Chains A and B, each alone.
Chain A
Amino acid sequence: MKLVIIDYGAGNIKSIQFALMRLGINAILSNNIDEIINADKIIFPGVGEASSAMKMLQKSGLDQLIPKLKQPVLGICLGMQLMCKSTEEGNTKGLGIFNAHVKRFSNSVKVPQMGWNVIFNLKTNLFKGIKNKEFMYLVHSFYAENSEQAIALTDYETTYASALQKDNFYGVQFHPEKSGIEGSRILQNFIEL
C-alpha cells in the first residue's frame, strides 16, 4: 500500500508519519503531483493559518489537484478546514469539497479549544469499532458548522462537525495521530477503507 502525506510546508507531519509507522506503514512525504495521483491513500495535514496554507497549496498547484483525487483522502485539522467552502480565518476561500463553512469560536469560550473532547453521532467505516463519545485530542480556534456531511459531532460552544465526509473525501478536526490507541484505530480504519 502506498500512502502519501501531502507535504506543502504546513503542519506537524512528523507525528502523522510516526503514527503510521507504529501501524507498520511507511508513508511518503510529497508535494509531487504524479506521486500523489498514484498513491492508494492520501493524508492532507495542516497546522497553522488558513490563508497562508492556501497560498502554499496554490503555489504548487495542489489546490487544483486535491478536489479531483479519486482515492481515499483524509484531511486532518487545518487540512479538513481547507477542504470546506470557506473559512473565516483570513477570509479564505477553501477547496470547496465539503459543503460547509468554517467559523471562529466566539470569546464566550477559551480559544483555542485545546485538549480532549468527545466525538459522537459517528458515521461511516472511518469510525468502525470506535465507541460513541470516544475522546479525541483537538487544538483549534475555527470549526466547521454542522451539516449533512458531518460524520462526527463535538460540543464546544456549539455542536459542530468534528468530521466530514463526501464520496472519497474524509476530514477530521481532531488529531488521530495524537489521540492514543483510539486515534490509531481511526488511522487504521482509514488505511483499510
Chain B
Amino acid sequence: MLTKRIIPCLDIKNGRTVKGVNFVNLIDAGDPVVLAKQYAELGADELVFLDISATLDGRKTMLEMVLKVAEQVNIPFTVGGGISSISDVDLLLKSGADKVSINSSAIKNPGLVNELAEKFGSQCVVVAIDAKKINGEWIVHLAGGTIATALNLFDWAKEVEKRGAGEILFTSMNNDGTKSGFATEALAKLSALLNIPIIASGGAGNIQHFVDAFQKGKADAALAASVFHFGEIPILKLKQELKNNKIPIRI
C-alpha cells in the first residue's frame, strides 16, 4: 500500500536553514546538507528546500547546495523558491533535484506549468499554493503570503492540475506558524476535488495534527519545519504514532 509521506521543509537563505514564524523573524536552524542527511537517516520520506534568498548570489549558493544534497542524500527532494523559467528548472534538475516547486511564477504565467510538465514530466512539477481564508473564502496569496490575488484556492488548484502539475503543496496562511493544526477542511475539499497528491503544510504543532491531516484532511503527505528542526516532534515517534492510528506509513 502506498504510504503517507512525512516531509521536513528546510527554508534556505544564503546557504543556511531558517524558519519563519508567520513568515517573519527568521531563526537559524543549521547546515542544510547535514540536516538533510540526518533527516534521511531518521526516516523522513522526502525533503523540501525552499530558497528564500532571492538574490543572484543566493541562487548560485542554492545550486551548489542542491548538488551537495544530491551527492549525500538517498531520498527524494524538492527545491522551490524564485523559480520562474524552464532554464531555472533545467539547472536544478541537472544538479540532482528530483522535483521543483513553483508558486508566484505559476500565478504570473500559468503557461509555465504546461511548459514544465511537457518538458520535464508532471512528476517533477509541484505547484505550491499559499492561501488565506478571508470572509469564508480561501484566497490565493503571492510573495510569501503578503499579497492577495483574485484567485480562489480550489479553482486555482484545479486549473494547475489540468495544466499538468504533478502535486499540490497547499499552505494555509491562517495556520502557518501557529502550531494549532493543519487546515483539515480545506485539505479534504482539495483532496476530493483533485486527482493528484496533496501535501499539507502550515500549522503542525503536535502529533495529533498529523493524524488529522491524514484522516480528516485526506492529505497524501504532510510538511513541517520548526517542529522537526528543533526536535519538538521526533520523526520516528511521529511515524510510530501514525502507524498506531492505522495510517499507512513507512517505518
The reply on B1 being an interface residue by CB < 8 A is yes
Max chain A C-beta neighbours (<10 A), residue from B70, B121, B196, B220: B121
Contacts of A19 in B (CB 8 A): 74
Contacts of A116 in B (CB 8 A): 2-3, 5, 45, 250
Interface of B is mostly: loop
Known contacts A14-B94, A110-B197, A110-B220: A115-B75 contact under CB 8 Å: no
The reply on B98 being an interface residue by CB < 8 A is yes
A115 touches B197 (CB 8 A): yes
Q: Which residue of A lies closest to B195 (CB)?
A: A107
Cα A143 to Cα B224 with chains together (Å): 31
Chain A interface residue number, banded: 35 or more
Contacts of B75 in A (CB 8 A): 137, 178-180
B70 touches A14 (CB 8 A): yes
Cα A14 to Cα B98 with chains together (Å): 10
Number of inter-chain CB pairs below 8 Å: 92
Contacts of B40 in A (CB 8 A): 180
The reply on A49 being an interface residue by CB < 8 A is yes
Cα A143 to Cα B174 with chains together (Å): 39
Contacts of B167 in A (CB 8 A): 114
Q: How far, in Å, is A168 (CB) from chain B's closest CB? A: 26
Known contacts A175-B76, A178-B75, A178-B76: A115-B3 contact under CB 8 Å: yes
B5 touches A179 (CB 8 A): no
The reply on B245 being an interface residue by CB < 8 A is no
Cα A97 to Cα B8 with chains together (Å): 40
Q: Which residue of B lies closest to A117 (CB)?
A: B2
The reply on B124 being an interface residue by CB < 8 A is yes
